[in-house]
Amino acid sequence: MELPTLKVERLYRQISNVLINCIKSGQFAPGEMIPSERDLSKQLGVSRSSIREALIALEITGWIEIRTGNGVYVSNPLPLQPVTQSEEEFSLQSLIKARQIYECTTAELAALNGTDDQREKLAEINHELTQLNINNDAFLEEDRRFHLMISEMTGNEVLRDMMEYLWDKRHSRRFVRLETHYTDTDFAREMNTDHQAITDAILARDAQGARAAMQGHLQHVYDRLFSE
């Protein structure tokens, strides 16, 4: 007897499939508002952050429309041929948490190992970054330079390459859509306050302070995107 291959699915994908079945069965009709994140969370017994990630995936595949501040609606008409998920599957929550674990270490090592020239370069990048207070392409490019510079200051080129790998995952369509819906004009300004604290600690060679500042920074990012 040939047994089927079992497929392990991410939680957000499992939630997406449940909601798709609700739409297909008519429980959620085209054009109708679906229950809130809070209600779906209670009914399915999962966190609101997991619900939010599932809704982002459903919007990208054409099943729903997220109207920020106004609710989530079933698409009308429904997609004739839903868009397939062609990109790599990973949890957006896990991505930010992985960065938090990883970058706390790179910030600590940067404070300990960074050269004088690298410290001067970090200060320059931070200055340029803090002049940008809108979450646009220019801000994101400087933000990327900032985090890569810190990883370079560890003195380990593999850590720098790993940081680039993690950063580039934010180009995921799901991450971009999540950020579009759940950040506002104050987001870049708040992030720059964090960037300044990280920079100050690294320049002062305060390893524990740099770790704590980076921990707080990425927690702020997580809270903004997945706030309960």
Residue among 185, 176, 101, 182 at smallest CA distance from 135: 185
What pLDDT score was predicted for residue 92?
93
3-state SS class at 156? coil
Q: Among 42-51, 182-191, 203-212, which stretch is predicted with the lowest mean pLDDT?
A: 182-191
The predicted pLDDT at position 186 comes to 84
Structure tokens that stand for 120 in this block = 């001067």
Quick one: pLDDT at residue 68? 83
- Higher-pLDDT residue of 134 and 210 is 210
Q: Does residue 85 carry a pLDDT above 60?
A: no
| H or E element in which residue 71 lies | strand 71-74
Three-state SS sequence of 5-24: CCCCCCHHHHHHHHHHHHHH
More confident residue, 82 or 41: 41
Average pLDDT for 218-222: 96
Question: In this model, does residue 84 exceed pLDDT 70?
Answer: no
Distance of CA 92 to the CA centre of its chain: 5
Predicted confidence at residue 101, as pLDDT, reads 96
Tell me what the pLDDT averaged over the chain comes to: 92
Which pLDDT value is given to residue 228? 57
> Is the predicted pLDDT of residue 55 greater than 80, yes or no?
yes
Mean pLDDT, range 179-202, rounded to an integer: 93
Is the pTM higher than 0.95? no
Q: What is the pLDDT of residues 162-184, one digit of tens each?
A: 999 999 999 899 999 999 898 88
For 18-22, 82-86, 103-107, which range has the lowest pLDDT when averaged over its residues?
A: 82-86
Q: Which CATH superfamily is domain 92-226 in?
A: GntR ligand-binding domain-like (1.20.120.530)
pLDDT: which is higher, 9 or 126: 126
Same fold, 11-74 and 92-226: no
pLDDT in the model for residue 183: 87
The reported pLDDT for the residue numbered 201 is: 98
Query: Could you state, in order of their start, the residue ranges of all structural domains in the chain?
Result: 11-74, 92-226
At residue 88 the predicted structure's pLDDT band, cuts being 50, 70 and 90, is low
- Quickly name the fold that domain 11-74 has: Arc Repressor Mutant, subunit A (1.10.10)
Q: Region 183-192: what's the mean pLDDT?
A: 89
**At residue 86, does pLDDT exceed 60?**
no
Please report the pLDDT score of residue 82 as a whole number. 57
CA distances (Å), origin 141, targets 24, 129, 147, 172, 184:
41, 9, 10, 16, 18
Average pLDDT over residues 209-224: 96
